[in-house]
Structure 1
Amino acid sequence: MPIKAPPFQVRQLRRSGRNVQEAAPGRRQAAYTRVGSAVRASTTGHGFHLVGTLRAAADRGARIENGCVKFQPEDVRGAVRRGKESNLIVFVVDASGSMAARDRLSAVTGAVHALLGDAYQRRDRVAVISVRGSQPELLLPPTSSIDIAHRRLNQVKTGGRTPLPEGLQLAHEVIEREHRREPGRRAIMVVLSDGRATGKSGVQHLRQVADTIARRGLTAAVVIDCENTARIKLGLAKELAHNLGAPCVEVAELNADAVTGIISAF
Structure 2
Amino acid sequence: MTSLEDLREWPQPTVMKLFELVKPHPILYDCTHEHWTNTVEKGRIWTRIAKQLDPYLTSKKCRDRFQSNKKRYATEIRKQIGLGDENVNLDLKWLLDQYDEEKENHSSLMETLKAGSPIDDHDVENGMHPHESDEEAAASANDHTTATGSTIMNLISQMPATETDSSDGERPSKRKRKDSTSEKLEQASEQPEFKPIIPFNNNSFIEFLASLQSAEQQQQQKQVEEECNIFGRQVEIDLRRLNTVNRTKARLAITSVLSDLYQQQQS
TM-score (norm 1): 0.20
Higher relative contact order (CA 8 A, sep 6+): 1
Structure (1 or 2) with the greater strand fraction: 1
Structure (1 or 2) with the greater helix fraction: 2
TM-score (norm 2): 0.20
